[in-house]
A and B are shown apart, each in its own frame.
Chain A
């Protein structure tokens, strides 16, 4: 589970950096720094500009979103597995 989470985190970071570069280019240094401080802002900005063809961030945003959804699923599965393991050890 840990290695899956790590791979998903790395993919998420790569997507985030790709969108962050576009954020810096389009909105300037200050909003770029805000995007580093709060990657959630970068993510929201990405979705708000997904139709902007000149930015070409559609694929990055779809992959980033898929990775976030997968990460949540993996963490839920991991917590269920851990609960079962703990219950088996306790019982």
Chain B
């Protein structure tokens, strides 16, 4: 009796269309892409205006720590090194590329694409599984089963 509402809440979270929600506001996507590109560009040039507050304050890497380095390695064609630094780099790079595409699409095409993404997300729960998978990957790395690289 008591498990039904919890199950429903979990189902709701899994099937909520978080990615298409994010994509629905063109301005938000443009700002995220711009900030991401600036961060990656500055990192390529050896500068960093942004550092992870969790890692800087506690010394413990957050689930996303290493993603910038891994994406840079991926952009330089170092696939193996990239996957060792952060296994989710291809997923995030693909998501960023997809976001970039949606910024420049005509409104009608964009809305049609968003509808497809929303339906797929709600059916498959892909976004939720990717995010939960990333958190699980982080826990596994913290436990030392898959160690963090020495520098990232």
**Which A residues fall within an 8 A CB radius of B?**
5-6, 9-10, 12-13, 15-16, 27-31, 33-34, 36-41, 43-44, 48, 68, 71-72
CB distance from B51 to the nearest CB of A (A): 7
Decide yes or no whether B11 CB sits under 8 A from chain A: no
**Which B residues fall within an 8 A CB radius of A?**
13, 16, 18, 21-22, 28, 31-32, 35-36, 39, 49-54, 56-58, 62-64, 67, 127-128, 131-132, 134-135
Q: What does DSSP make chain B's interface, helix, strand, loop or mixed?
A: helix
List 11 interface pairs A-B (beta carbons < 8 Å), by A numbering: A13-B54, A29-B13, A30-B13, A33-B135, A34-B18, A36-B62, A39-B54, A40-B36, A41-B32, A44-B31, A68-B49
Q: Which residues of A contact B134 (CB under 8 A)?
A: 33, 37
Q: In the complex, which of the residues A12, A29, A31, A40 contacts B57, with contact meaning CB atoms closer than 8 Å?
A: A12
Contact B49 A31 (CB under 8 A): no
| Complex: A28 Cα to B16 Cα, angstroms | 9
10 interchain residue pairs of minimum CB distance: A30-B18, A9-B56, A37-B64, A13-B57, A9-B57, A12-B53, A13-B53, A16-B53, A33-B131, A37-B63
- Given A12-B53, A48-B28, also A40-B127 (CB < 8 A): no
Q: Which residues of B contact A6 (CB under 8 A)?
A: 57
Q: Which residues of B contact A31 (CB under 8 A)?
A: 18, 21-22
| Complex: A13 Cα to B51 Cα, angstroms | 11
Contact B39 A40 (CB under 8 A): yes
Contact A44 B32 (CB under 8 A): yes
